[in-house]
């Protein structure tokens, strides 16, 4: 009889752990799926528009080729940029930024292929990749030289 009372008493206990887990899952679900509404005030600012005077579309190449020579010279589309010992590459960065903006306006994706000569320093490749990152060019690949 005593054993039967113990069994009956144990059945009356309610485990709240699964219910608390479900409540937390629902809380997280509603926090993630709820969108916040932001009230934006009109500041009367006019953003610059694309150049409307240009009638013909730009003929941009599909791919821009960056060659890193063994001496550290960087060529973009066969044009030399910056000094071999300059790690910031400001001319290359500015040109890549302009190319990216022009490609975005024309609706073309900017693709940069980097070719490195065998004797070139790896440090120079990082400099070129940093320039691409500053110009916000995300499509970068490596190619084999001819």
- For residue 85, the model assigns a pLDDT of 84
pLDDT digits (tens, 9 = 90+) for 79-91: 988 888 888 888 8
- For residue 110, the model assigns a pLDDT of 85
27: in domain: yes
Give the predicted TM-score (pTM) of the model: 0.57
Which is higher by pLDDT, 19 or 42?
19
- The whole-chain average pLDDT of the chain stands at 79
Residues 10 and 79 both lie in one domain: no
Q: What share of the chain is helix, strand, coil (3-state, %, to 5)?
A: 40, 15, 45
Band the pLDDT of 20: cuts 50, 70, 90.
very high
11-15, 20-24, 123-127: which is most confident: 20-24
The closest of 33, 97, 39, 88 to 64, measured between CA atoms, is 97
CATH code: domain of residue 134: 3.30.420.270
Domain residues for the domain of 18 are: 2-33
- For residue 82, the model assigns a pLDDT of 87
Residues 139 and 77 both lie in one domain: yes
How far does Cα 141 stand from its chain's mean position?
15
51: in domain: no
Residues 28 and 75 both lie in one domain: no
Distance CA 34, CA 38 (A): 13
Residues 93 and 134 both lie in one domain: yes
If one counts the domains in the chain, the total is 2
Residue 146: CB atoms within 10 A of its CB come to 4
Q: In what side-by-side order are the strands of the sheet with 139-143?
A: 79-81, 74-76, 64-68, 111-116, 139-143
48: in domain: no
């Amino acid at each position: 009889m005593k054993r039967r009372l113990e069994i009956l008493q144990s059945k009356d206990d309610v485990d709240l752990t699964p219910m608390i887990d479900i409540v937390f899952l629902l809380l997280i679900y509603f926090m993630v799926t709820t969108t916040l509404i932001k009230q934006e005030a009109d500041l009367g600012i006019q953003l610059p528009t694309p150049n409307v005077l240009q009638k013909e579309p730009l003929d941009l190449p599909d791919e821009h080729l960056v060659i890193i020579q063994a001496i550290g010279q960087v060529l973009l589309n066969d044009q030399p940029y910056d000094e071999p010992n300059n790690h910031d590459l400001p001319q290359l960065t500015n040109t890549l930024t302009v190319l990216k903006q022009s490609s975005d306006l024309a609706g073309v994706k900017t693709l940069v292929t980097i070719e490195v000569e065998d004797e070139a320093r790896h440090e120079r490749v990082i400099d070129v990749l940093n320039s691409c990152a500053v110009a916000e060019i995300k499509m970068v690949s490596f190619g084999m030289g001819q």
